[in-house]
Structures are given as structure tokens and as C-alpha cells.
A and B are shown apart, each in its own frame.
Chain A
Amino acid sequence: MKDSAAKRIFITILGWLVALLLAFPIIWMVMTSFKTETDAISTPPLFVWHPTVASYAEVQERANYFSFALNSILISVGGSLLALAFSVPAAYAMAFHPTPRTRSTLLWMLSTKMLPPVGVLVPIYLLFSSLNILDTRGGLIIVYALMNLPIVVWMLFTFFKEVPREILEAGRMDGAGVWNEMRYLLMPLTLPGIASTGLLSLILCWNEAFWSLNLTSSAAAPLTTFIASFSSPEGLFFAKLSAASTIAVAPILIFGWLSQRQLVRGMTFGAVK
């Protein structure tokens, strides 16, 4: 028994060490965001300091931070809602009324997700440019919706599949028509699945940084693009960078923690259970 107690302590220490090391850049980022610029670059690094929120204020002054944040929110929510609007009916049809072609339809949808965005960067850019939707929220919403459509359909499909067929049959025996089935059975049973699918889509949109960097510059630029503007070094900026990054990451980190299980399901297309 002594042996297993030692092992337990070892595992505890190792587990926490690994976890803290992996999270360290994030923790350090949050800490730095509450420093002054001079504290931020002090060597050796400061672990005790007078916290200040000055950097957060400066970030807002420097560039209208809230407009970037607003863009991120509008584009992520818009893209996710649009994807859901197309996906819910499609996943419903395939899950509850499968036909011999459902299988190949699903696999084809999955395969479209394999198309590397960079392979179609040129035509999308030119199309956007000729349609005058470069650097517009609407343009990015469309791209994000399409980009995530396969994942969203797949996730919804697996959620819908989990509604036991017999429950719907029981509903039919009880006299529920299409409308009552939707209202009393499908809606309450699938709403959690739809919500967590939306959440995953939200995370993916929020963090997307290929299309946002290439298709937006200012008017519709989300936070990913705003943060990228820190890439050219300029005086003292560690604290400002950290503050801007912290606000950009915090909400989605919480969503991510909430939806880790669904993430596995969504990102692996049900191949890992």
C-alpha cells in the first residue's frame, strides 16, 4: 500500500506540473495584462507586482477595441446561426428519414471539409472583390457558415440519431402528427444537442484566422485580425498585447471548457467515442 501512496503523490505532482506548464503561457498572459509596460518587460520576470488595468484602457484607446469585439461576436454568432439554419433541416431529414443515399451524402459533406482553404483562396478573394464584399461582416458570415456546415451537420446528425426511434414511434401511436412530434418530442429532446453544436461552431468561428486575415482589414475585422496588428513590433507593447489577447481569449476559453465533450464528437465526426 505504501507503494501506491507514493505513486499517487507522484501522479498528482506530475499531472499538475504538466497542466500548469501547458497553461503557463495563458496564465502569464493574464498576469502580464495587469502590469504596466515597464513591469511587463522587467527581467527577471515579476511574479509580484502592483496590478493595474491601465493596459486594458490603452487597448481601447489605441484602436476601437469594441468594434473588433463586436465584429467577432456578430460574425461568429451570425455564421453559426446561418450554419444551423441550413443544417438543422438537413440533419433532421437524414437522421429521421434516411434513404439509401444518406450515407454517401454525409460522407460527401465531410469530404468538402477536407478542401484546404488555401487551395481556394484566390477564387474566393476575387469573387469577394468583384462582389464588393471584401471586408464586410456579411461576407465573412457566409464563409464561416459554409466552412463549418459539414461539421455542424455531422454533429447534429449524431445528436439526432441518439433520439431513440421507438420514442418517435410511441409518439405516433399516441397520435402525434408531424407538428406535435416536433413540438413535444423532437424540440425538447434535441435542443441540448443543437445548443452544443452551436457552441462548437461559435468557438471555431471565433478563432478562425485564415479567412479573417485574408478577407478583412478594418471595417469587418474580428479580434483575430486585430491581434495580428501587434505582429509588427512597436515600443513597449507586451502589456497591451496581453490585455487585448486576454479579452479576446477569455469568453471562448470558457465556452471551450463547457463544450469539451461535444468538441471531441464534432471534430472527429463520431469516429472516436
Chain B
Amino acid sequence: MATLNLRNIRKSYGPVETIKGVDLDIADQEFVVFVGPSGCGKSTLLRMIAGLEEITSGDLMIDGKRVNDVGPADRGLAMVFQSYALYPHMTVRNNMAFALKLAGVPKEERDRKVDEAARILQLGPYLDRTPKELSGGQRQRVAIGRSIVRNPRVFLFDEPLSNLDAALRGQMRIELARLHEELAATMVYVTHDQVEAMTMADKIVVLQSGVVEQVGSPLELYHHPANLFVGGFIGSPRMNMLPGRIAHVDRTGVAVDVAGGARIVVPAESTNVAAGNPVTLGIRPEAMRPEPAGQLAGEVLLAERLGGLTLLHVTLTDGQVVVVQLEGSDSTRPHQPVRLLVDGEACHVFNEAGRALPHLERHPLAA
């Protein structure tokens, strides 16, 4: 049972402010992912929650109690570090039992808890080894095991999968999701990998330069990005961004003219914009397909065939390259002229300040 509340949390090093006022509510048993480019402050924020960094101003509440001045060990949290930070001179068992030992838990109970955690993580055969005798994935599991035995109110993860190879990372993602369900615990997870964020999170917090850009469920962020940054950051391949100008507005949406004279109508709120405003049109790669009647004209530069998907890189008449994602294997060849049909309903319009014009209708899965 744990909720976390951040109230106007700030962090500065001397005159430099790295976290610029974060407000956030994390519900019990929620899996929250902080995501953003490196240097955005996501790790600092996590370390402030952990108690490893001092909070310059603002309030951090766990279960409604302000814990700014409580030491890291007394906040009832456990943290899994990027480097795992296993104690190299202790066996796996002692690594996992260390916190309990310091807390004065009797030996039998320590052993019971370690054995239980080892069972969950399939670490049983390795309990008497030292960390350097383990593989990367096993070390990762020990690090998680070390946090499980403490039975914490909140689990904190600082880019825990970034040292693993791609295959193992995929496997650990599933394992972490399973663990979240089994332990029914609140988890806060930091990553720069938007795929990890999308696949595991109940709630994603997108950070940039110490500011929260948007908070929401994965699909909410995907289908209703609040601004250019989130639009560009979430989703792979990236959203295509075309500069354009508003042609006209009405109750059904906004018509945007982009390079080459193409006009695309997006069902977005038009209250704060007027014809002639410069805007950016965001088109997801899967929101376009080759069609003789398409609005955009261009030439295929390159076709990446992934089997189940085909990515077409298309040079538009103004020289901009857009990426189009097609289902299945496509026969389109490089240097072939092509017209692209854009699904206006799946497009996003960002005003000059980079803010998205809200869609008139919400995506059904992004309530």
C-alpha cells in the first residue's frame, strides 16, 4: 500500500536548476515510467524520491507523509541501480540479506525471505556464488531480489535493463511486468527507451530539461501528444513533422497546407488558431499509405523490408524525407514516384509554440 505525491519538487546545484518544479501523483500499485532523453532529470528525480539526492524545495509525500528529511533507508523504498551495485565481496545470499541484517532481522527469517525471493527469481542455484560468477541477467535478478526481500512500499528502478543485450532486455521486460503483478507493488521506473516505457507502464511521465512535458497512459501519449516534444519522442519510427500553414478552420477541424500544395484536414480544436498561422503537421508513419489519389507527392528513396512491416523512406517534392510504415511485405522499389494518402484523423497539428491542438474526439483506448 503506497502512494507517492510530488509537490512542486525542485533541485538545484548552485545556480543551476535541474528539476524545475515537478508535480506528480502516483497511485498505489501503479507502474510509473519516467522517460526522456539523457540529461532530462529523470534519474535525478528518481534519486530524490530514493533519498539519495537532497530535495532543494517542494514536498515529497509517501502515503501522505512528508519524507523530505527521512533517510533513504527509512523511506521504505528499494532501488535497483543501473549498474546493479551488487556488493562484490558478498555472496548472492548475503547481498540479498544485507538490508535485513542491518535491520536486525533474525537469521531464520532472513533466510526464509531470501529463499522466497530466490524462488520467485529462479536464483536458487546461485545463492552461494559471488556476483562476478554470474551472468548479466543473473546479476540483474539479484539486484531485483535484493529489493524484494525488503518488502518495500515502492520499488525504484534506474535504467535497470540498459546493460543487457537486446534479447535479454525483452525477456526481463516481461519478467518485470509479471513481478509487478505478483508483488502488487508500486513501481517507479526510469528509462530513456520509449519502447520500455510503452510496454510496461501504467502511466508514463515524459520529462525534458527538468520539466514534465506530459503524464498519461502509453496510448494517451501516443494518440494525444500534448506537444511537439512528446509527439516526436513517443513512437518508433518517429512521427514525421512537416512545416505548414493553416488554410482555414471550421467546427469540423483545421485544414493545413504543407509543402507542395497538399492540403490535409485534421479534426482538431480550432479555437485558438486562425487561417495563415504557421503550424507543424505531425503524421505517424502508419497514418500514410501509397495511393494514386494521395495528397503528398514524392519519390521512394529507400525501402526497409522487415518482413511483417515495410518502412518506405520517401523524398517529398520539397526535399523533406518522410517515413511510411506499411503492414506486410510491400513491393515498392526505390526511385519509384509515389503519392501518399494521409489519414487526417490520425494527424496532429502543433501551433507555433509547439503545443498540440486537441483532437475533437479522444481515441477509444486513450480515455
On whether A and B touch (CB less than 8 Å), the answer reads yes
The residues of A with any CB-CB pair to B shorter than 8 Å are 164, 166-167, 169-176, 180, 184-185, 188-189
Would you call A175 and B103 a contact (CB within 8 A)?
yes
Q: Which residues of A contact B243 (CB under 8 A)?
A: none
Question: Assuming A169-B72, A173-B51, what are 14 further A-B pairs, CB within 8 angstroms?
Answer: A166-B85, A169-B79, A170-B79, A170-B81, A170-B146, A172-B51, A172-B52, A173-B52, A173-B72, A173-B77, A175-B74, A184-B87, A185-B87, A188-B89
B88 contacts A by Cβ under 8 Å: yes
Q: Which residues of B contact A166 (CB under 8 A)?
A: 81-83, 85
CB-CB nearest in chain B for A176: B102
A143 to B85, alpha carbons, bound, how many Å?
41
A-B contacts counted at CB < 8 A amount to 58
Would you call A172 and B73 a contact (CB within 8 A)?
yes
Q: Of residues A174, A180, A184, which shows the largest number of chain B Cβ atoms within 10 Å of its Cβ?
A: A174
Contact partner of B85 (CB less than 8 A), chosen from A169, A176, A180, is A169
Shortest distance from the beta carbon of B194 to any chain A beta carbon, whole Å: 24
Q: Can you name 27 A-B pairs with beta carbons within 8 Å? A: A166-B83, A167-B86, A167-B88, A169-B52, A169-B72, A170-B79, A170-B81, A170-B86, A170-B87, A172-B52, A172-B72, A172-B73, A173-B50, A173-B52, A173-B72, A173-B78, A173-B79, A173-B99, A174-B102, A175-B73, A175-B102, A175-B103, A176-B73, A176-B102, A184-B87, A184-B98, A189-B88
Q: Which residues of B contact A176 (CB under 8 A)?
A: 73, 98, 102
A180 to B146, alpha carbons, bound, how many Å?
18
Contact partner of A174 (CB less than 8 A), chosen from B73, B83, B88, is B73
Shortest distance from the beta carbon of A99 to any chain B beta carbon, whole Å: 13
Would you call A174 and B85 a contact (CB within 8 A)?
no
Shortest distance from the beta carbon of B92 to any chain A beta carbon, whole Å: 14
Q: Which residues of A contact B71 (CB under 8 A)?
A: 172
Q: Which residues of B contact A170 (CB under 8 A)?
A: 79, 81, 85-87, 146
Q: Report whether over half of chain A's contact residues are helix, strand or loop; otherwise say mixed.
A: helix
The residues of B with any CB-CB pair to A shorter than 8 Å are 50-52, 71-74, 77-79, 81-83, 85-89, 98-99, 102-103, 146, 150
Would you call B99 and A174 a contact (CB within 8 A)?
yes
A170 to B77, alpha carbons, bound, how many Å?
11
Shortest distance from the beta carbon of B208 to any chain A beta carbon, whole Å: 25
Would you call A174 and B81 a contact (CB within 8 A)?
no
A171 to B79, alpha carbons, bound, how many Å?
11
A164 to B79, alpha carbons, bound, how many Å?
16
A186 to B52, alpha carbons, bound, how many Å?
18
A171 to B72, alpha carbons, bound, how many Å?
10
Q: Which residues of A contact B82 (CB under 8 A)?
A: 166
List of 6 A-B pairs having minimum Cβ-Cβ separation, nearest first: A175-B73, A174-B99, A166-B85, A170-B85, A175-B102, A166-B81
Shortest distance from the beta carbon of B143 to any chain A beta carbon, whole Å: 8
Q: Which residues of A contact B79 (CB under 8 A)?
A: 169-170, 173
Would you call B52 and A167 a contact (CB within 8 A)?
no
Shortest distance from the beta carbon of B125 to any chain A beta carbon, whole Å: 24
Shortest distance from the beta carbon of A26 to any chain B beta carbon, whole Å: 38
Q: Of residues A170, A171, A172, which shows the largest number of chain B Cβ atoms within 10 Å of its Cβ?
A: A170
A164 to B81, alpha carbons, bound, how many Å?
11
A198 to B43, alpha carbons, bound, how many Å?
38
Q: A174-B73, A175-B73, A189-B88 known; A169 and B81 CB under 8 Å?
A: yes
Would you call B103 and A167 a contact (CB within 8 A)?
no
CB-CB nearest in chain B for A165: B85
CB-CB nearest in chain A for B78: A173
Q: Which residues of A contact B50 (CB under 8 A)?
A: 173
A252 to B150, alpha carbons, bound, how many Å?
49
Q: Which residues of A contact B86 (CB under 8 A)?
A: 167, 170
Q: Which residues of B contact A169 (CB under 8 A)?
A: 52, 72, 79, 81, 85
A189 to B86, alpha carbons, bound, how many Å?
12
Q: Which residues of A contact B52 (CB under 8 A)?
A: 169, 172-173
